[in-house]
Chains A and B, each alone.
Chain A
C-alpha cells in the first residue's frame, strides 16, 4: 500500500477565513512533506517533517502553519491567505528523509482563495 490521502479535495476560502488541510499515511513513513503547485509547474517544497519534527521550512509565509500530531498525520493550517495562494497543495511521504528514498504523493487539495 503506497497510499497518501488528503482532505478536503477542494477548498474555497475567503481571505479572513481559517481552514486546515489534512494528510494521512499508514505506510510507517517517518518523513512527510507539503508542496505547493501551480498549474503546469513542478511542485514547490514548503515544509519537511522528519520523525515528527519540522526539519525544513522553505521560507514559507507565516500564514501557512504546519503541524505533525503523530507519525501518520500532517496538517497545514491556513489563515489570512491571499488570492495568489490559490494552488494545488500536495502532501507526500517517504520512509525517511534520506537520499535514496522514494516520495509518494497524495492526490492534493485544490485551494481557491477569494
Chain B
C-alpha cells in the first residue's frame, strides 16, 4: 500500500519568510507528485505538480523532488498571511487511477 506522509504542523512563519513544506512517499516507483492548497471550509486547489528530479518554479512557489531520497517539498517565498492554509501532497496510487493524499500540513503566516 502506497503511503504519503506529511508533518501535520502547524508550521508558523512570519510574513516575508520562506515556508518549507515536506512530504515523503513510500513507493520508489512513484513518478508524479502534486501539491494542493486547502483553505478552511473550502475544497483543495492545485498549486503545482512535478514529475522530474530537481526544482520546478512557479511564481513564489518552488516544488523540489528527490526520487533517491523519496521526498518532495514545496517552498513558498515571501510568505503572505493569505498563504495560511493546509497544504496537501499527493501521488498516484498503484494502478495510477487515483491520487493518494497525505494528511496535510497546516501553515500559518503571521503579519
Are chains A and B native binding partners rather than an unrelated pairing? no
Q: Which residues of B does A touch, CB under 8 Å?
A: none
